[in-house]
């Protein structure tokens, strides 16, 4: 775990989607990714009932802990705390980073932002790093309109001190422009979740980012 | 120290009516002497829910009454509520207890004696049993439990028993007589022409 002032020790932030893993189970894909060296996983299964989410989080914590992979739980500091996750990932409309700091001080805090203003707010509220997107077109976010693009990514990078991960349609060939725009790292769901070979895909990200 | 729970238990609802907000309903209830208000709102963002919970927790009318949040331990903690109500599909009660500590109130839902026993053994401060009568507030997949189940559960449990489901002013006295420590209502107060007066009438049954 890192403190509020230090940088994340990962450059690729893997976001889960158990539906994209099928027919493999989510724990199975997470384990393959961890074994291949992934540094951070965000469990994001928003449609699960709490009881099921808690059980899945317990299982994923057990796996990630074995590989020293950081685990973040989307939206639920109570579940993050209960399973001993490293952190919690805040949604823009969810509990604020300041709420998390106050009640769950042991949790690191990632926060999703979709504008420069939201990025500044999240920084002020105490987030440790930010996810900004969608940078490129991605079917899962198409209903929210046009992608944000690299210029807006750059504007967010310039507006805050926090490390920014670009998310949304970030393929391996689009990493370099993201880094050029000042991104600290990148995040993704389907690239690894839906990969035929999780290990090969993780290796590819590793070679592009120099580090996972 | 937790005091013995007894009296009226309001579950706020802005879908069966939209004249009053959750905050207004809670305020009416506290003014009328309702002992427990459960904030139940699945329609808004977590950020908004947390704000509403904090607003209700700070109402002058609240005094010694308790504010319980439906389903969500995190919102209860962040909003400064007194506890949480957990259904069968929510976080396990022992997990919630670990997060909330002994001072916060945890209640659990049951629909029969076996579940009621399990909820009590898991460490709940009260057990809700329902639905006692037909109710339109929540869709149910099983038949009403009736007063006979309530009597049976009441004899077995040590923690306060909350009767829920279809409780109206005309049925309230029977439910209390059958052994309920608390009457949980939603429509009977939220959808009443004068919610505060409706709450007061239920509260008076316990005096």
The H or E element spanning position B70 is strand B66-70
| Nearest-angstrom CA–CA distance, B28 and B47 | 24
Shortest CA gap B190–chain A (Å): 27
Per cent of chain B over pLDDT 90 is: 91
Per-residue pLDDT averaged across A6-22, rounded? 93
Query: Residue B2 domain-assigned?
Result: no
Per-residue pLDDT averaged across A17-34, rounded? 96
- Taking alpha carbons only, the member of B112, B116, B147 closest to residue B133 is B147
Give the domain extent around A42. 12-209
Contacts of A93 in chain B (CB under 8 A): 45-48
Shortest CA gap B27–chain A (Å): 24
A61: pLDDT strictly greater than 60? yes
Burial of A105 (0-12, 13-18, 19+ CB in 10 A): exposed
Q: Is A109 helix (H, G, I), strand (E, B) or coil?
A: strand
The better pLDDT of the pair A102, B142 is held by A102
A99: pLDDT strictly greater than 80? yes
Task: Name the band, by pLDDT with cuts 50, 70 and 90, for residue B141.
Answer: confident
The better pLDDT of the pair B143, A187 is held by A187
Task: Name the band, by pLDDT with cuts 50, 70 and 90, for residue B3.
Answer: low
* Structure ipTM: 0.94
User: Phi/psi of residue B110, each to 5°?
Assistant: -145, 160
A123: pLDDT strictly greater than 50? yes
Query: Residue A34 domain-assigned?
Result: yes
- How many domains does chain B divide into? 1
B136: pLDDT strictly greater than 80? no
Contacts of B57 in chain A (CB under 8 A): none
Contacts of B47 in chain A (CB under 8 A): 93-96
Give the domain extent around B106. 7-204
Mutate to test the interface with A, among B45, B51, B69, B95 (most CBs of A within 10 A): B95
The CATH number of residue B69's host domain is 3.20.20.70
Write out pLDDT tens, residues A124-165: 999 999 999 999 988 877 777 789 999 999 999 999 999 999
The region that residue A126 occupies, defined by phi over 0 for left and psi between -120 and 50 for alpha, beta otherwise, is left
A1: pLDDT strictly greater than 70? no
Residues from A in contact with B at Cβ < 8 Å: 49-52, 54, 75-79, 81-82, 91, 93-96, 99, 102-103
Contact B72 A78 (CB under 8 A): yes
The CATH number of residue A17's host domain is 3.20.20.70
Query: Residue B1 domain-assigned?
Result: no
Contact B78 A99 (CB under 8 A): yes
Angle between helices B22-32 and B46-57 (to 10 degrees): 20
CA A42, distance to chain mean position in Å, is 5
A80: pLDDT strictly greater than 90? yes
The H or E element spanning position A65 is helix A50-66
Query: Residue B140 domain-assigned?
Result: yes
CA B200, distance to chain mean position in Å, is 16
Instruction: Please provide the DSSP assignment of B162-194 as one string.
Output: EEESS--HHHHHHHHHTT-SEEEESHHHHTSSS
B171: pLDDT strictly greater than 50? yes
Predicted TM-score (pTM) of this structure:
0.95
CB-closest option in A49, A91, A103 to B77: A103
Query: Residue A5 domain-assigned?
Result: no
- How many domains does chain A divide into? 1
């Amino acid at each position: 775990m890192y403190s509020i002032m230090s940088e994340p020790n990962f450059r690729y932030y893997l976001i889960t989607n158990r539906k994209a893993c099928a027919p493999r189970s989510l724990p199975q894909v997470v384990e393959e990714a961890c074994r291949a060296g992934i540094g951070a996983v965000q469990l994001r299964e928003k449609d699960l009932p709490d009881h099921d989410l808690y059980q899945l989080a317990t299982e994923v914590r057990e796996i990630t802990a074995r590989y020293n992979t950081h685990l973040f739980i989307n939206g639920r500091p109570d579940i993050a705390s209960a399973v001993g996750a490293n952190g919690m990932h805040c949604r823009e409309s969810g509990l604020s980073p300041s709420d998390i700091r106050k009640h769950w001080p042991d949790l690191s805090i990632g926060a999703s932002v979709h504008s420069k203003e939201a990025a500044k707010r999240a920084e002020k509220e105490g987030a440790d790093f930010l996810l900004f997107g969608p940078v490129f077109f991605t079917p899962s976010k198409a209903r929210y309109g046009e992608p944000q693009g690299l210029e807006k990514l750059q504007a967010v990078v310039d507006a805050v001190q926090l490390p920014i991960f670009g998310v949304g349609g970030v393929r391996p060939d689009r990493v370099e422009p993201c880094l050029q725009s000042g991104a600290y790292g990148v995040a993704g769901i389907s690239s690894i979740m839906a990969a035929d070979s999780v290990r090969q895909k993780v290796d590819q990200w590793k070679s592009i980012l120099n580090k996972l | 120290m937790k005091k013995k729970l007894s009296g009226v238990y309001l579950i706020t609802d802005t879908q069966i009516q939209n004249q009053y907000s959750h905050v207004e309903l809670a305020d009416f209830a506290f003014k009328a002497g309702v002992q427990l208000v459960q904030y139940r709102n699945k329609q808004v963002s977590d950020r908004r829910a947390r704000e509403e919970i904090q607003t209700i927790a700070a109402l002058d009318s609240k005094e010694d009454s308790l504010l319980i949040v439906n389903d969500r331990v995190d919102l209860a903690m962040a909003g400064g509520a007194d506890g949480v109500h957990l259904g069968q599909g929510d976080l396990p009660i022992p997990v919630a207890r670990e997060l909330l500590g002994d001072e916060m109130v945890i209640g659990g839902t049951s629909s029969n004696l076996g579940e009621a026993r399990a909820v009590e053994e898991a460490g709940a401060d009260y057990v809700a049993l329902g639905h006692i009568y037909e109710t339109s507030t929540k869709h149910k997949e099983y038949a009403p439990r009736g007063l006979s189940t309530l009597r049976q559960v009441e004899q077995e449990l040590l923690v306060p028993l909350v009767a829920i489901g279809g409780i109206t002013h005309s049925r309230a006295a029977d439910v209390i007589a059958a052994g309920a420590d608390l009457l949980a209502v939603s429509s009977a107060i939220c959808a009443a022409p004068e919610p505060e007066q409706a709450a007061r009438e239920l509260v008076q049954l316990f005096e």
